[in-house]
């Protein structure tokens, strides 16, 4: 996210605000990545600066065995971050928006969905990225057995937007509600993540109509330019930023900070539910 999804110097500001939010909640922040072939939780300052400035390879779960064998650096997607978190025993993960089912290409699905079905990690996000087919993404989460809980919202958010018209069946009102749900899933032997979704902060969310217009135009541009594969998401996010005159970036940073704060609160609540410090 910091190395691939946000340009300089916005990535540094987002990192600082997220870490501060986690600490304010009483938890410990740690960034995931692959450093010299080593899956890592918690990157030192030198490595972070190198990632901020150098745009290392975007790395999903499928890429990790090769990266480990070859000693490569990688900025992890949600899928790869979940793999690393699960391996390290980290139980709560915060991100911006998850990947999902692409529009007009139902066979093109993000690996995020599969890893959410495999990794028992609370994942806090603002829904799926606005450039995706949101109804199809929500359906695939159901098919994969991923529990989705809205945090003080009855709708599945659209990343930059709060309203999508997609209803949720489970709504939590406190971090303790989330903690108890996560521990209940563990007790039931459920293998996948608990996906916690909350809308972007009200003051920074974009109007749904504005985002829809921008995304439609950008998707046509991507198709005309022949943009495919892993290049699609960065291209689309950059184009949406231009189309919204920077509004999408402000919304992105705001929701990242908000998600980090909630993730920290949930981590503390899980510890309290277990009766630990």
Q: How far apart are CA 45 and CA 41, in angstroms?
A: 13
Q: Is the pLDDT of residue 74 over 80?
A: yes
Tell me the domains of the chain and their CATH numbers. 10-274 (3.40.1790.10)
Distance of CA 212 to the CA centre of its chain: 20
Tell me the per-residue pLDDT of 28-38, one tens digit each, with 9 for 90 and over: 999 999 999 99
Q: Is the pLDDT of residue 224 over 80?
A: yes
Q: Is the pLDDT of residue 106 over 70?
A: no
Distance of CA 57 to the CA centre of its chain: 18
* Ramachandran category for residue 124: left, alpha or beta (phi over 0 → left; psi -120 to 50 → alpha): beta
Percent of the chain with pLDDT over 90: 69
pLDDT band at 16 (very low <50, low <70, confident <90, very high): very high
The pair of three-digit structure tokens given for residue 271, joined into one six-digit string:
């510890």
User: For the residues 211-219, what does the mean pLDDT come to?
Assistant: 81
Q: Is the pLDDT of residue 105 over 60?
A: yes
Q: How far apart are CA 24 and CA 63, in angstroms?
A: 34
* Higher per-residue confidence, 267 vs 236: 267
85 burial type by CB count under 10 A (0-12 exposed, 13-18 middle, 19+ buried): buried
Tell me the per-residue pLDDT of 175-194, one tens digit each, with 9 for 90 and over: 999 999 999 999 999 999 99
């Amino acid at each position: 996210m910091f190395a691939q999804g946000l340009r300089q110097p916005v990535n540094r500001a987002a990192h600082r605000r997220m870490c501060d939010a986690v600490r304010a909640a009483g938890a410990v922040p740690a960034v995931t990545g692959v450093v010299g072939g080593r899956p890592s939780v918690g990157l030192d300052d030198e490595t972070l600066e190198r990632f901020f400035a150098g745009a290392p390879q975007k790395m999903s779960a499928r890429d990790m065995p090769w990266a480990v064998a070859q000693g490569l650096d990688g900025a992890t997607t949600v899928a790869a971050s979940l793999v690393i978190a699960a391996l390290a025993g980290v139980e709560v993960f915060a991100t911006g928006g998850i990947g999902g089912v692409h529009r007009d290409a139902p066979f093109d699905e993000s690996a995020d969905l599969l890893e959410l079905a495999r990794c028992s990690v609370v994942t806090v996000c603002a829904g799926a990225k606005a450039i995706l087919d949101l109804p199809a993404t929500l359906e695939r989460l159901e098919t994969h057995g991923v529990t989705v809980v809205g945090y003080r919202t009855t709708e599945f958010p659209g990343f930059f937007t709060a309203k999508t018209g997609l209803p949720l069946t489970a709504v939590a009102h406190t971090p303790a509600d989330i903690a108890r749900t996560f521990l209940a899933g563990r007790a039931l032997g459920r293998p996948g993540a608990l996906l916690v979704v909350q809308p972007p902060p009200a003051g920074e969310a974009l109007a749904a109509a504005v985002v829809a217009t921008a995304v439609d135009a950008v998707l046509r541009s991507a198709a005309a330019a022949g943009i495919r594969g892993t290049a699609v998401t960065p291209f689309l996010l950059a184009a949406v930023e231009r189309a919204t005159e920077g509004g999408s970036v402000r919304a992105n940073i705001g929701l990242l900070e908000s998600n980090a704060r909630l993730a920290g609160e949930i981590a503390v609540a899980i510890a309290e539910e277990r009766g630990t410090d």
